[in-house]
């Protein structure tokens, strides 16, 4: 097999704790297990909040094969804040269109991002090893201590942290962590060490993944076939990746032998039948997988917290695995930082399990429905699926029934305990618990995007008609008077979103006087999407979720909502 990627090898380095008799007396505030996309996202977010971070990983390179492939808009927005979003989008393949076929006939297509004026596209395809390599570089620049070839072989949690025994090429040593974040994958050794289990369903079907290097005339779209002539009575998925690599998934059936199906003499004829005799290609990577839709009952276990595939698993159709895991880290790390710094009580972390458990349930529900449609297990289910596919070409109602993988979208945590309910009716979907929509803005006269200025701290987004009016100055004074949950907590940053352009001298004066960030709502889209009449104020969490909203800024109400959003 040929590879389009030159896998880096990272050196083992002897840790300072090895051989020290008192290493446990000096615990690390935060240890993360697993240098995959989720673990490194957690570490980068920790560093953004000023926390030191140690990552332990038992390997010495990035992941082999494409694995996690499709990164949705919400995840790209998070990766932007972590410093790797631009690299991912620039290297990856952007797509918005998906097509579904029955046999050789297209039955319908969809577009992921029908509403324009978002910075990031609906979906970008990029092999996981590229993402991980960009994350490694970012971690090195941010001062994350990644320890390669450090395998955790025992974990002993207690009320104040956890002690880890770590096996390395030069022997075993012990580490002490105040907090342990577990991102060690679907087979999570640490989950097993602690006797924790997953609940859910394992589906009796197998799929072959083949990463194929070729020059192909196909567009950058998602193509899904039911019962194609080149693979009858089964399904096939085709995605384009970077570097002329194409990802092909073949449904095999439960009786297929995984080891036999991975052999080139079995794989090559399947691909050639699909592509035709004239198109040449090379195999880069092959794997066989089984659908699983399972989750831990709880993600938070005292000072040990689980994220990503270590906490929940879904089938790959729908791109809900890596996207959900990176969103786990986005939800968790600001809360952990606030707890470690004393700005919030430890009970704040309960909301991590509540919110991301809700997201896992939503992902599992959608993934299970997709799996049941793709691989019907009885005659009735198959008859329903085939009828929906037959009707979908000519009837819009049937297209809603076709399910080849409902693609990843962010969960709206409308019932989060951190939300303050809105006291007044408003239009749109930007309600407490929702991630804020993006929109084009200008800052000091330069074009930009709203989400590029938000996140990492609590902020109050204030909509105004005229940044220079007396009403605007009064509103900014009110935001300065918001009481803090605890004296040491950071003050709210006011983000002023003006309907009218803002002269640079005025913006500079407001920023200097009030510590505000002054933006111009370039096309009025932020106001429209948020139903943001003049005076409307949104309280935004560090992960860009809306915690509360009001028709006018009122310091005591905002202070109470800030306290609630930090678990007080």
Report H helices in 316-403.
Answer: 321-340, 350-374, 379-392, 396-399
Tens-level pLDDT at each residue, the chain (568 residues)? 556 678 999 999 999 998 777 766 679 999 999 999 999 999 999 999 999 999 999 999 999 887 888 999 999 999 999 999 999 999 999 988 889 999 999 988 888 765 689 999 888 999 999 999 999 999 999 999 999 999 999 999 999 999 999 999 999 999 999 999 999 999 999 999 999 999 988 887 889 999 999 998 889 999 999 999 999 999 999 999 999 999 999 999 888 999 999 999 999 999 999 999 889 999 999 999 887 889 999 999 999 999 999 999 987 766 777 899 999 999 999 999 999 999 999 999 999 999 999 999 998 888 888 778 888 878 888 889 889 888 988 888 888 888 776 677 888 999 999 999 988 888 888 999 999 999 999 999 899 999 999 999 999 999 999 999 999 999 999 999 999 999 999 999 999 999 999 999 999 999 999 999 999 999 999 999 999 999 999 999 999 999 999 999 999 999 999 999 999 9
Tokens representing residue 550 in the block: 């009001």
Which residues on neighbouring strands pair with residue 563, listed in sequence order? none
Please name which of 250, 269, 238 lies closest in space to residue 375, comparing C-alpha atoms: 250
Question: What pLDDT is recorded for position 450?
Answer: 98
Angle, helices 470-480 vs 504-514, to 10°: value is: 30
Question: What pLDDT is recorded for position 461?
Answer: 98
CA distance 356 to 183: 14
CA distance 436 to 132: 26
Contact present, 341 and 197 (Cβ < 8 Å) = no
Question: What pLDDT is recorded for position 141?
Answer: 98
The number of helix segments (H) and strand segments (E) in the chain equals: 15, 26
Based on the number of CB atoms within 10 Å of its own CB, is 482 exposed (0-12), middle (13-18) or buried (19 or more)? buried
- How far from chain centre, in Å, is Cα 171? 35
Contact present, 38 and 308 (Cβ < 8 Å) = yes
- How far from chain centre, in Å, is Cα 407? 13
Contact present, 490 and 504 (Cβ < 8 Å) = no
CA distance 352 to 335: 8
Based on the number of CB atoms within 10 Å of its own CB, is 394 exposed (0-12), middle (13-18) or buried (19 or more)? exposed
User: Quick one: fold of 23-85+125-197+297-367?
Assistant: FAD/NAD(P)-binding domain (3.50.50)
Segment (H or E) for 558: helix 555-565
Q: For the whole model, what pTM was predicted?
A: 0.94
CA distance 473 to 465: 12
User: Tell me, what DSSP letter sits at residue 490?
Assistant: P
Length of the chain: 568
User: So what's the architecture of 440-565 in CATH?
Assistant: 3-Layer(aba) Sandwich (3.40)
Angle, helices 350-374 vs 321-340, to 10°: value is: 180
Which residues on neighbouring strands pair with residue 539, listed in sequence order? 460, 548
Give me Rg for the CA atoms of the chain: 25
Angle, helices 73-81 vs 37-48, to 10°: value is: 40
CA distance 80 to 153: 34
Asked if the domains at 23-85+125-197+297-367 and 440-565 fall in one CATH topology, the answer is: no
CA distance 194 to 296: 12
For the chain, the domains span 23-85+125-197+297-367, 440-565
Tokens representing residue 187 in the block: 């087979």
Contact present, 182 and 191 (Cβ < 8 Å) = yes
Contact present, 373 and 402 (Cβ < 8 Å) = yes
């Amino acid at each position: 097999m040929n590879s389009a990627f030159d896998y880096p090898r990272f050196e083992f380095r002897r840790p300072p704790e090895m051989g020290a008799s008192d290493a446990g007396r000096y615990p690390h505030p935060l240890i993360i297990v697993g240098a995959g996309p989720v673990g490194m996202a957690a570490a980068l977010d920790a560093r953004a909040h000023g926390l030191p971070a140690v990552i332990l990983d038992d390997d010495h390179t990035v992941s082999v094969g494409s694995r996690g492939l499709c990164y949705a808009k919400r995840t790209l927005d998070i990766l932007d804040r972590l410093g790797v979003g631009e690299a991912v989008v620039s290297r990856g393949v952007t797509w918005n269109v998906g097509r579904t076929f029955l046999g050789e006939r297209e039955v319908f297509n969809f577009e992921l991002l029908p509403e324009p004026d978002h910075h990031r596209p609906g979906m970008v395809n990029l092999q996981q090893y590229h993402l991980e390599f960009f994350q490694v570089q970012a971690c090195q620049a941010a001062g994350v201590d990644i320890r390669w070839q450090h395998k955790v072989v025992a974990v002993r949690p207690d009320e104040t942290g956890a002690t880890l025994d770590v096996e390395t090429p030069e022997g075993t040593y012990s580490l002490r962590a105040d907090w342990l974040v577990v991102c060690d994958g679907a087979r999570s050794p640490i989950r097993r060490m602690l006797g924790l289990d997953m609940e859910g369903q394992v589906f009796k079907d197998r799929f072959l993944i083949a990463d194929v290097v070729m020059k192909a005339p196909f567009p950058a779209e998602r193509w899904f076939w039911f019962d194609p002539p080149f693979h009858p009575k089964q399904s096939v998925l085709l995605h384009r990746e970077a570097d002329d690599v194409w990802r092909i998934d073949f449904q095999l059936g439960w009786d297929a032998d995984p080891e036999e199906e991975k052999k080139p003499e079995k794989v090559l004829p399947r691909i050639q039948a699909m592509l035709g005799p004239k198109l040449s290609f090379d195999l880069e990577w092959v794997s066989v997988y089984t659908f699983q839709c399972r989750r831990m009952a709880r993600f938070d276990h005292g000072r040990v917290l689980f994220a990503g595939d270590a906490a929940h698993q879904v089938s790959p159709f729908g791109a809900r695995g890596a996207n959900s895991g990176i969103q786990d880290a986005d939800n968790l790390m600001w809360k952990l930082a606030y707890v470690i710094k004393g700005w919030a009580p430890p009970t704040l972390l309960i909301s991590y399990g509540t919110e991301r458990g809700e997201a896992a349930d939503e992902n599992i529900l959608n993934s299970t429905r997709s799996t049941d449609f793709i691989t019907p297990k009885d005659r009735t289910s198959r008859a329903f699926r085939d009828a929906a596919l037959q009707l979908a070409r000519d009837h819009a109602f049937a297209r809603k029934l076709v399910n080849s993988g409902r693609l990843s979208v962010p969960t709206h945590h409308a019932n989060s305990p951190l939300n303050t309910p809105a006291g007044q009716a408003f239009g749109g979907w930007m309600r407490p618990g929702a991630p804020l929509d993006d929109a084009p803005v200008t800052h000091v006269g330069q074009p930009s995007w709203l989400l590029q200025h938000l996140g990492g701290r609590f902020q109050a987004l204030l909509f105004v008609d005229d940044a220079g009016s007396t009403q605007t100055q009064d509103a900014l004074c009110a935001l300065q008077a918001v009481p803090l949950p605890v004296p040491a907590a950071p003050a709210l940053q006011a983000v002023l979103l003006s309907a009218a352009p803002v002269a640079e001298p005025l913006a500079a004066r407001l920023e200097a006087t009030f510590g505000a960030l002054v933006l111009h709502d370039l096309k009025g889209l932020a106001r429209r999407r948020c139903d943001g009449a003049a005076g409307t104020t949104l309280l935004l969490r560090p992960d860009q979720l809306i915690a509360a909203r009001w028709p006018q800024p009122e310091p005591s109400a905002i202070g109470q909502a800030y306290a609630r959003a930090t678990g007080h």
